């Protein structure tokens, strides 16, 4: 069976499509200034000219940062004052500062403004990044969030910040232009949860109530970046709870991606690493052709060519 109709070329956090609301490291694209909005317009136009649909992933890294990338050398912000272990994943992580309750609406508003800017730049919608151990994830996961106020403690309170962001963005640009990425089972950047099944199901039901256009969830087997573990957990309860388009991601091949669609496990399968290394991935899947091997060392470098546009297309005899 040809896989082409089932693929979605999500450029998840590698080269394009994700825009930071905070400072984490150099060369990270942003969407908070007028100059940035104008700079993205010709890029978005080029994607549309090729018939593409382009969503802007908006995120805030929270504690996954250091003093050197913060305004005036201040501490990164988070749900907690517990930091990421220095040296983890090669980062020089600085201890964060716990956000005060009165500061949280300002962060929510940053997401709203970023969404508005994305639409002004011409994007078809935004994906709220609530995964991978970044700020929203830091609020939702009980192994990080140690607050005792209205943003911590119970599952509902820990998810409050995430859903305030969703509400603000939906009210600004409309639910039909908003998706969200979640990784309830992952422990990226020491951001795990004691009951990921309950967290995932709660968020899936809540997002369904807002009528989001899609939910993009990372497979439970992807506990850590680069690993693909055996697990009894499944995204299927989340898929059943969310009535919009459900996108599954995480270590998929051509064959198990097709099977997931055939079994009704997901509506779409996201390929990130394989798509970076294979610009004609749908064609290769359709022909069951060999794939280029990706080079993880080039995923996050700022070079506009190396690791981005230098992978070869498939040569098919005429």
Residues 6+ apart with CB under 8 A from 279: 309, 311, 313
Q: Helix, strand, coil shares of the chain as percentages rounded to 5?
A: 40, 10, 50
The one catalytic residue among 134, 188, 308, 311: 134
Closest to 300 measured CA to CA, from 8, 16, 68, 69: 16
Task: Tell me the two tokens of residue 270.
Answer: 């996201």
Task: Tell me the two tokens of residue 242.
Answer: 């969310």
Rounded (5°) CA angle 145-146-149: 100
Rounded (5°) CA angle 127-133-136: 55
134 counts as catalytic: yes
| 132/140 Cα distance (integer angstroms) | 12
Q: At what angle do helices 196-210 and 160-173 cross, to 10 degrees?
A: 20
Q: Are 65 and 146 in contact (CB under 8 A)?
A: no
| 155/171 Cα distance (integer angstroms) | 24
SS3 assignment, position 205: helix
Strands in 197-250 per DSSP E: 214-218, 245-249
Unique residue bearing structure tokens 């004609």: 280
DSSP 74-135: PPPEESSSPPPPTTGGG--PPPPEEPPGGGHHHHHHHHHHHHHHHHHTT-SEEEEEE-TTSH
Unique residue bearing structure tokens 């297309």: 313
Burial class (CB in 10 A: 0-12, 13-18, 19+), 46: exposed
Active site residues: 134
């Amino acid at each position: 069976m040809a896989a082409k109709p089932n693929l979605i070329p999500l450029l998840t956090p590698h080269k394009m499509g994700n825009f930071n609301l905070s400072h984490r490291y150099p060369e990270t694209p942003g969407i908070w200034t007028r100059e940035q909005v104008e700079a993205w317009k010709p890029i978005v136009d080029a994607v549309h000219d090729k018939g593409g649909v382009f969503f802007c992933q908006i995120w805030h890294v929270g504690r996954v940062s250091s003093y050197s990338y913060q305004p005036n050398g201040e501490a990164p912000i988070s749900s907690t004052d517990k930091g990421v272990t220095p040296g983890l994943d090669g980062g020089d992580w600085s201890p964060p500062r716990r956000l005060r309750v009165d500061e949280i609406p300002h962060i929510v508003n940053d997401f709203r403004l970023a969404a508005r800017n994305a639409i002004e730049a011409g994007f078809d919608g935004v994906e709220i990044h609530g995964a991978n151990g970044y700020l929203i994830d830091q609020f939702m996961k009980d192994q990080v969030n140690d607050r005792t106020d209205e943003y911590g403690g119970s599952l509902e309170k820990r998810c409050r910040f995430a859903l305030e962001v969703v509400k603000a963005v939906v009210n600004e640009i409309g639910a039909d232009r908003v998706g969200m990425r979640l990784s309830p089972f992952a422990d990226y950047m020491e951001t795990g949860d004691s009951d990921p099944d309950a967290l995932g199901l709660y968020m899936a039901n809540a997002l369904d109530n807002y009528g989001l256009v899609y939910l993009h969830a990372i497979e439970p087997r992807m506990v850590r970046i680069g690993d693909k573990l055996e697990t009894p957990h499944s995204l299927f309860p989340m898929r059943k709870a969310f009535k919009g388009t459900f996108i599954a991601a995480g270590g998929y091949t051509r064959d198990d991606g097709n099977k997931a669609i055939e079994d009704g496990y997901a509506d779409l399968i996201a390929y990130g690493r394989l798509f970076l290394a294979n610009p004609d991935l749908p064609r290769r899947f359709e022909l069951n052709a060999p794939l280029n091997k990706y080079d993880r060392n080039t995923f996050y470098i700022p070079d506009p060519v190396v690791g981005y546009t230098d992978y070869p297309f498939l040569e098919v005899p005429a």
